Amino acid sequence: MSRIGKKPVDLPSGVTAEVKAQTVEVKGPKGTRSFTATDDVTLAVEDGKISVTPRGKSKRARQQWGMSRTMIQNLVTGVTEGFKKELEIQGVGYRAQMQGTTLKLALGYSHDVNFEVPKGITVTCPKQTEIVIEGDDQQLVGQVAANIREWRAPEPYKGKGIRYKDEYIFRKEGKKK
């Protein structure tokens, strides 16, 4: 039995959900999101809750049960609160700034890195060394953060680079004479 799958997803006030075959469409104050579940689970909306039940006792049905429930919960969270990732930039001369829909990064290369922000994602730079990524799709927010971090991942000797706000970088000792 899936402990996660057993719990129904509560719909807060201002959020509506509609199930058509295997597709759930959730509408809320921050937009509309949808998820298509596999044929291994059954979806139902009753009194402000979305319930997911497996169709059978196969291993795949049980795997999809908890995963589908979590995906639907992420849709509800996305249209109500949204998702947010924060990045920090450390290093002399490393900085970021927004220019329209392009994030301009100075990361010690001979040229500036221009990162085009995808549709549905909001990127802001409250300081030159901070980047805040927000959106209603958890996967897309995380992917954009990972793509930005990839340009200059933190190195273990001085800790220079782009890191997540609460990320711990294991520091190594330098060369000894």
**Assigned domain for 60 exists:** yes
Query: 88 and 145 share a domain?
Result: yes
Query: 69 and 89 share a domain?
Result: no
Q: Tokens standing for 122? A: 């909001």
Query: 70 and 91 share a domain?
Result: no
- What's 38's domain CATH number? 3.90.930.12
**Assigned domain for 42 exists:** yes
Query: 31 and 88 share a domain?
Result: no
The per-residue pLDDT for range 92-135, each reduced to its tens digit, is: 999 999 999 999 999 999 999 999 999 999 999 999 999 999 99
Among 60, 80, 100, the domain-final residue is 80
**Assigned domain for 171 exists:** no
**Assigned domain for 126 exists:** yes
Task: Give the residue carrying structure tokens 């800790």.
Answer: 159
Q: Which domain holds residue 62?
A: 3-80
The per-residue pLDDT for range 45-88, each reduced to its tens digit, is: 988 899 999 999 999 998 999 999 999 999 999 999 999 999 99
Query: 139 and 93 share a domain?
Result: yes
The per-residue pLDDT for range 2-35, each reduced to its tens digit, is: 788 889 999 999 999 999 989 999 999 988 999 9
Among 57, 80, 103, the domain-final residue is 80
Among 54, 80, 106, the domain-final residue is 80
Query: 157 and 93 share a domain?
Result: yes
Count of domains for the chain: 2
**Assigned domain for 175 exists:** no
| Per-residue pLDDT, 5 | 86
Q: Tokens standing for 1? A: 């039995």
Q: CB neighbours (10 Å) of residue 69? A: 24
Q: Give the pLDDT band of residue 1 (cuts 50, 70, 90).
A: low
